Structure 1
């Protein structure tokens, strides 16, 4: 088995921590600062997350072992956590839900998207790189015209260019953003994305950054909407590349947490929803500055705790129950019989 690349583990853990932060920020009052920081984060951290997902999907093929692994590690967790989140929101939050499984609840869109992106991977890998990227771009730009919400299809197609980008980038091209020179450019890139999203904050709704709504629901003409999405794709690309360039390359304790990103992703929502149901937004409304600090620090701590090896190993039973059972069975078979 090839050794894990600490840089990619650092990227994965950084990005899933940002996911937890972003979801936690939904608990905050919507003043100008909070709206901008949220939009700034969503402009690039999900594109970066999807790009890394593409990179990690390069080995997928339509073979029985790979298809079974896709079902076991993506479809089964989707069914388990979609049901668990729905039950939690109904029983604890008193929220009436419909379209269970067909309309992914909150963070579950990613598993739905991952399932279909992986199935599409061999198709795009079979195309010349430039052709694959152009096809993905055209699909993304046109998806807002007609794509619906079943299994979050609109978002799957809207974010497709980032998945295909990660899927088709060579190791040599990834090396460009690992250089020290790229780190300097990354600082400039982050500043540029911050400035652009500050300008956009005055007139563009946050909904655009989710890539999930039809253009006609965003109250703009189709032609203008296509232009806005193209602009957001460029912003996401610059922000994602800047993020990759700034993430540390060395192996550290943080790198070891990168193996548990799915555990963090699937479990953090219960904690954020608990804070919402317990009235944290009311406290946040009364403490504008402190609530931002407390929420951000708490989100970081939550991500680190969920990814800690002892915690992640325990929770992984729910994330991959079939894999856990298979490992238990192999361990029992391999156990030597006791001698009389």
Structure 2
């Protein structure tokens, strides 16, 4: 089979590992108020997991002038699901909390990433025209933090903050870095040691300096969701903090990719359905987060592993076929009536995850790994 049609297990493994970290980060959030260990884990996860997701999304994005079908997919795969799930969240909050404030300009919880993906796709062809696009997006990300009017409206603050990672992913593909350096083929033993060592160091630093990180409100810095002054960065050099955090994100993302399995596993094909997990897991976690059952859990050494295991199980469960069958009309809608040419809405079975995972018409089938990818 040609290279263009053969799925590379690594990328599906990386997608699924990222989405597990997304669930884990949200699941442990309430534990961080009562446990330094949980907060340390939370900070390490948030230091890189969304940047890594943005890198993957950028790697599979095209900078060419979009075709009509590609433009339609921004609407069907991103904008329409965004409107649908904003409506569902408004109804949920009204039923549970007795009040709701419908506002499409303010994304609910996890929905900000949908808007970010849409904006990434729209601006990439323009960025590709520039010399040094990585430097421009880096300047945009750092500069946006100084502007108080760049906020969570249409998730603009996070979009601009994470734009360099998305652009980096595209740049790696554009310059064929992964193939030229044989990054998916050769993985000597020391790569595992270095990758594991980097996460060990990150965990150790998070543990030792946990009080300092709590005092500086580090978690807010890792969200890329607020201007510097609103989270305590009133000094002129506050942009240097973001620059340092972005460097840490790239290093930890590289370590993460180095540790991601290259071979096919039973969970590999779930990496094609990360958007199901992303959009649905918040509804699974919502009652636990809001009821307070995740507060004051002691001892941490018992409850934290339980939460980790449950996060993995939630991600696995939400990517299964029965769940996809039930929720496909909401997550992968086919609004042919919306277009002058109904065919632009796409046909069943030929869809692409907004993060870049194209799925075949037939039932998903992952080919065996290339023997050269062992390691």
The alignment's TM-score, normalised by the length of structure 1, stands at 0.88
Change in Cα spacing, 1:167 to 1:199, as seen in structure 2 (3 Å) is: farther
The separation in 2 between residues aligned to 1:154 and 1:329, in whole angstroms, is: 35
Offset of residue 86 of structure 1 = 2.5
Is 2:34 the counterpart of 1:22?
no
Q: Secondary structure at the match of 2:236?
A: helix
- Structure 1 residue runs of 4+, over 6 Å off? none
The separation in 2 between residues aligned to 1:134 and 1:184, in whole angstroms, is: 31
Q: 1:275 aligns to what?
A: 288
Change in Cα spacing, 1:16 to 1:60, as seen in structure 2 (3 Å) is: farther
The separation in 2 between residues aligned to 1:95 and 1:13, in whole angstroms, is: 35
Q: 1:110 aligns to what?
A: 113
Match of 1:292 among 279, 304, 308: 304
Match of 1:221 among 221, 231, 234: 234
Answer whether contact 2:90 2:102 (CA < 8 A) is retained. no
Change in Cα spacing, 1:82 to 1:20, as seen in structure 2 (3 Å) is: same
Offset of residue 65 of structure 1 = 1.3
Q: 1:190 aligns to what?
A: 199
Map 1:19-58 to 2 at 5 A: 19-30=22-33, 31-58=35-62
Q: 2:316 aligns to what?
A: 304
Cα offsets for 1:178-204 (capped at 9, x unmatched): 331443332232223334434553323
Change in Cα spacing, 1:260 to 1:233, as seen in structure 2 (3 Å) is: same
The separation in 2 between residues aligned to 1:112 and 1:79, in whole angstroms, is: 10
Match of 1:256 among 269, 289, 309: 269
Is 2:101 the counterpart of 1:98?
yes
Is 2:12 the counterpart of 1:9?
yes
Change in Cα spacing, 1:201 to 1:8, as seen in structure 2 (3 Å) is: same
Answer whether contact 2:56 2:169 (CA < 8 A) is retained. yes
The separation in 2 between residues aligned to 1:140 and 1:329, in whole angstroms, is: 37
The separation in 1 between residues aligned to 2:115 and 2:283, in whole angstroms, is: 19
Q: 2:363 aligns to what?
A: none
User: How many residues align structurally?
Assistant: 326
Answer whether contact 1:39 1:201 (CA < 8 A) is retained. no
Unaligned segments of structure 1, at least 5 residues: 331-340
Please identify which structure carries the higher helix content. Answer: 1
Match of 2:92 among 73, 77, 88: 88
Cα offsets for 1:215-267 (capped at 9, x unmatched): 11012224231111011000000011111110001122211111110001000
Q: 1:173 aligns to what?
A: 177
The separation in 2 between residues aligned to 1:256 and 1:309, in whole angstroms, is: 11
Match of 1:244 among 242, 257, 280: 257
The separation in 2 between residues aligned to 1:193 and 1:268, in whole angstroms, is: 27
The separation in 2 between residues aligned to 1:322 and 1:214, in whole angstroms, is: 38
The separation in 2 between residues aligned to 1:274 and 1:60, in whole angstroms, is: 43
Answer whether contact 1:145 1:222 (CA < 8 A) is retained. no
The separation in 2 between residues aligned to 1:91 and 1:196, in whole angstroms, is: 43
The separation in 1 between residues aligned to 2:172 and 2:240, in whole angstroms, is: 25
Q: 2:136 aligns to what?
A: 135
Q: 1:333 aligns to what?
A: none
Answer whether contact 2:9 2:263 (CA < 8 A) is retained. yes
Q: 1:337 aligns to what?
A: none
Offset of residue 113 of structure 1 = 0.4
Change in Cα spacing, 1:214 to 1:189, as seen in structure 2 (3 Å) is: same
- The RMSD of aligned alpha carbons is 2.3
